[in-house]
Amino acid sequence: MTREGLQEFRPPGEERLRWILERGKRARVLVIGDFCLDIYWFVDRSVSEISLETGLPTHPVREQRYSPGGAGNVAVNLVAAGCGRVLAAGVIGGRSLGRQLSSVLRGHGISVEDLLVQQEGWDTPAYGKPHLDNRECSRFDFGNFNLLSAETARDLLSRCSRRIAETDVVIVNQQLRQGSTRPCPGRLDRPDPQFNNTTFVPTAGISAVRIPAPASRSTFTRRAALRKRGTRGAPAPLKDVVPQPARCLPDSASRFS
């Protein structure tokens, strides 16, 4: 036990890890957070020409690839790990990038029923990455000026509250400063009393995992966790989007029962 009152995380051994992966095959996992799209453009200048509009050389794209990022990457990794069912809950835009992200997630077998579409004031967080001469060039970002509407936030909170009752594990991923979890006007525990006995474990980035646990676990605060990891300048407190009190598992973040 540390002086902060936190219990040190001990990586599971091989036997414990095999047990976790086997149990994961039956787990229903809800991933809440910032679903992003990484876009890769591979430029082949062998057929470049001078643009009549600008007088500059064009950048012909020979190949383009799309990959989920942020909470989408978490969801895809859960599928790859063999989780029984993975559900996505977040916000995307109503244009082509949002449709592309939904299509990619569905292609991995992820449920996107609760991936809400906000038509105005929201672009799907996406990152265009041109590759020129085997080198990644300056990135093009979408979604930096997003503003989550109160209506969308309420809908997201309501859907998450209902879904949690149907799942074994809930992962909350706060990836962006202007993401879907930052400005939510409320907490996920208010609509449903079952959140009172919930365990949260820090994961990569500003994230948390919810799994059932006994009430005797030690209290885990986000401020202490950030101080422990040496993270500064992080986005809004997790308590705005996930229930309290939060508790930390002493051995592993992977109990599905």
pLDDT in tens, 71-88: 999 999 999 999 989 999
Residues contacting residue 99 through CB under 8 Å, at least 6 positions apart:
none
CA distance 89 to 92: 10
29 φ, ψ to 5°? -115, 130
User: What does the mean pLDDT of the chain come to?
Assistant: 75
> Which residue in the block uniquely carries the two structure tokens 């929201």?
122
Would you kindly state where each structural domain of the chain is located, as residue ranges?
Answer: 14-37+69-126+146-240
pLDDT tens figures, 175-188:
887 777 654 434 44
Rounded Cα gap, residues 76 and 30, in angstroms? 12
pLDDT of residue 197: 37
Instruction: Answer yes or no: is pLDDT of 202 > 50.
Output: no
Please name which of 126, 128, 125 lies closest in space to residue 146, comparing C-alpha atoms.
Answer: 125
CA 136 – CA 42 distance, rounded (Å): 9
Q: Report d(CA 24, CA 20) in Å as an integer.
A: 6
Determine contact, residues 148/180, Cβ cutoff 8 Å.
Answer: yes
Contact in structure between 171 and 207 (CB atoms under 8 Å): yes
